[in-house]
Amino acid sequence: MTIRVSRNRVLLWVLAVLVIALFTRLGVWQLARMHEKQAMLAASHAVLAERRAQPLAIAADLQRAHDYDWTGGAGHFIDAPAVLLDNQAHDGRIGIHAYRVFQPAGGMPVLVDLGWLPLAGDRRMPSIPRPPGVVRVAGLLAPPPSAGLASDAAVRLPDGNLLSVALSMPALRQAMRLPALAPRVLKLDPALPFGYARDLDILPNTMPPERHLGYAVQWFGLALTVLITALVLTFRKPRSPNTP
């Protein structure tokens, strides 16, 4: 009887340790995501507070592919397909973010976020006219939105534009047959007179740091609950065979 009880306790603690390790790891991962997003927000807010304009040529710098810069310059939107980023929420509505390729007067072509457009119930994709002539753009250079687990494959629509649920610069460059494409995107200044509904939020359609902290607390709480449960089951006195 003693051997059986001891074996059950060993199995109990093996299972408990595995579950506690899993929950703790998930909690630590959520904390890491929280700190990562806090650092992103701090970096972007510092750039937006200063708004010291850099030339658009800085968009081609691979060493700054994960950084933020305020930039501006003249150029033109090239005759290339528009890119429609699907499943984008704005003011509680679902739509798309529209992107077009901008060729600065000097430097590498860069993908410009023109803003958000709603989708009708039939999900008919809107037309994205190319701004004509030479224009001057300004805005926040930022890494493209995180793809997460989504596929970065782009689907070519009947009008020639590209529909995707994630932005991959190499995949888009290949789909548009461009010789080069900057690794960052330009979030267009909302003050400019062209484009669609937009802001300079770098974490749209994703969890803020506070949500990650909340999930981390939940995972750590579950780990503590498993530990307490294992302790209670271990030190609970076994019921006597004669006890009714």
Residue 176's pLDDT is 92
Q: pLDDT tens across 80-135, in order?
A: 999 999 988 888 888 999 999 999 987 899 999 999 999 988 888 989 999 989 99
pLDDT above 90 for 10: no
The residue with greater pLDDT, 206 or 192, is 192
Confidence of residue 234 (pLDDT cuts 50, 70, 90): confident
pLDDT above 60 for 2: no
Q: Which two tokens stand for residue 111?
A: 């993908």
pLDDT above 80 for 197: yes
pLDDT above 70 for 177: yes
The residue with greater pLDDT, 234 or 183, is 183
110 close to 182: Cβ distance less than 8 angstroms: yes
Confidence of residue 16 (pLDDT cuts 50, 70, 90): very high
Residue 48's pLDDT is 92
Residue 240's pLDDT is 55
Confidence of residue 241 (pLDDT cuts 50, 70, 90): low
pLDDT above 60 for 25: yes
- Select from 110, 118, 31 the least CA-distant residue to 73: 110
Residue 184's pLDDT is 94
**The model's pTM:** 0.80
Q: Which two tokens stand for residue 192?
A: 């400019």
Residue 107's pLDDT is 84
Residue 117's pLDDT is 94
Residue 238's pLDDT is 60
Residues 6+ apart with CB under 8 A from 200: 44, 48, 139, 140, 187, 189, 190
Percent of the chain residues topping a pLDDT of 90: 60
Confidence of residue 17 (pLDDT cuts 50, 70, 90): very high
Write the CA distances from 225 to 26, 199, 229, 230, 232, integer angstroms: 15, 42, 6, 9, 11
SS (H, E, C) the chain: CHHHHHHHHHHHHHHHHHHHHHHHHHHHHHHHHHHHHHHHHHHHHHHHHHCCCEEHHHHHCHHHCCCCEEEEEEEEECCCCCEEEEEEEECCEEEEEEEEEEEECCCCCEEEEEEEEECCCCCCCCCCCCCCCCEEEEEEEECCCCCCCCCCCCEECCCCCEEECCCCHHHHHHHCCCCCCCCCEEEECCCCCCCCECCCCCCCCCCCHHHHHHHHHHHHHHHHHHHHHHHHHHHCCCCCCCCC
pLDDT above 70 for 147: no
pLDDT above 70 for 239: no
